[in-house]
Amino acid sequence: MQLSEVAQALDFPIAEGFDQVEITSVSFDSRSLEPGALFIPLVGENDGHSYIQSAIDHGAVATLWQADHADLPTLPAIVVEDSLQALQKLAKYYLMKINPKVVAVTGSNGKTTTKDMTAAILATTFNVQKTFANFNNEIGVPMTLLAMEPNTEVVVVEMGMDHPGELDALSKLVEPDVAVITMIGEAHIEFFKERGKIADAKMEITHGLKEDGVLIYNGDEPLLRERTQNLIQETRTFGLAENDELYAQDIVSDAQTTNFRVANFDQVLTIPMLGAYNVNNALAAISVGLLYQIESSQIMAALKNFQVTENRTQWVSGQDGLRILSDVYNSNPTAAKEVLAAFSQVPTDGRRIAVLGDMLELGDDAPEMHASLAEKIVGDKLAVVYLYGSLMANLAQKLRDQGYTGQIHHYPKEEQTKLIADLQQDVTGKDIVMLKASHGMHLENVLTALKA
Rounded CA-CA distance 194/6 in Å is 43
The predicted pLDDT at position 365 comes to 87
Residue 265: the pLDDT is 86
446 found inside a domain: yes
Domain range spanning residue 215?
100-305
pLDDT at 319: 86
Predicted local confidence at residue 188, as pLDDT: 57
Task: For residues 65 and 129, state if they share a domain.
Answer: no
The SS3 assignment for 157 reads strand
* CA–CA distance, 137 with 143 (Å, rounded to integer): 10
112 is in an annotated binding site: yes
**Do both 242 and 335 map to the same domain?**
no
Q: Give pLDDT, residue 311.
A: 60
Parts of the chain with a pLDDT under 50 = none
Same domain, yes or no, for 167 and 260?
Answer: yes
Q: Is 215 exposed, middle or buried (0-12, 13-18, 19+ CB in 10 A)?
A: buried
Give the torsion through C-alpha atoms of 203, 338, 155, 256, to 10 deg: -170
Alpha carbon of 238 to those of 115, 281, 347, 380, 439: distances in Å?
A: 16, 9, 30, 34, 29
Task: Write down which residue in 83, 114, 139 finishes a domain.
Answer: 83
List phi, psi (to 5°) of 69: -110, 125
**Are residue 143 and residue 286 in the same domain, yes or no?**
yes
233 and 338 assigned to the same domain: no
The DSSP symbol for 403 reads: T
Q: How far is the CA of 313 from the CAs of 31, 93, 256, 307, 335, in angstroms? A: 29, 36, 11, 12, 10
pLDDT digits (tens, 9 = 90+) for 302-333: 999 998 876 667 889 998 899 999 988 888 89
CA distances from 271 to 13, 37, 227, 251 (A): 52, 38, 30, 11
* Domain identity same for 363 and 389: yes
Model pLDDT, residue 195: 84
406 labelled ligand-binding: no
Does the residue 92 lie in any domain? no
Domain boundary among 83, 108, 141: 83
In a domain, 389, yes or no: yes
If asked whether residues 127 and 110 sit together in one domain, one would say: yes
Q: Is residue 95 part of a domain?
A: no
Domain count for the chain, please give it.
3
- The verdict on whether residue 44 carries a ligand-binding annotation is no
Task: Give the CATH number of the domain where residue 79 resides.
Answer: 3.40.1390.10
Percentages (nearest 5) of helix, strand, coil residues in the chain: 40, 20, 40
Say whether both 147 and 279 belong to one domain: yes
Q: Which of 278, 305, 332 is the last residue of a domain?
A: 305
- Is 108 one of the annotated binding-site residues? yes
Cα–Cα distance, 269 to 257 (Å, whole number): 10
240 and 120 within one domain: yes
pTM assigned to the model:
0.87
Question: Does 318 share its domain with 361?
Answer: yes
292 in Cβ contact with 122 (< 8 Å) = yes
Q: Please give the pLDDT value at position 307.
A: 85
- Rounded CA separation 330/131 (Å): 17
109 is annotated as contributing to ligand binding: yes
Residues 166 and 292 in one domain: yes
Task: Quote the DSSP letter at residue 16.
Answer: T
Q: Chain-centre distance of CA 450, in angstroms?
A: 24
Residue 94 lies in a domain: no
Is 93 a member of any domain?
Answer: no
- Asked if the structure places residue 89 within a domain, the reply is no
Task: Give the CATH number, domain containing residue 208.
Answer: 3.40.1190.10
Residues 72 and 106 in one domain: no
User: Residue 110 annotated as binding?
Assistant: yes
Residue 111 annotated as lining a ligand binding site:
yes
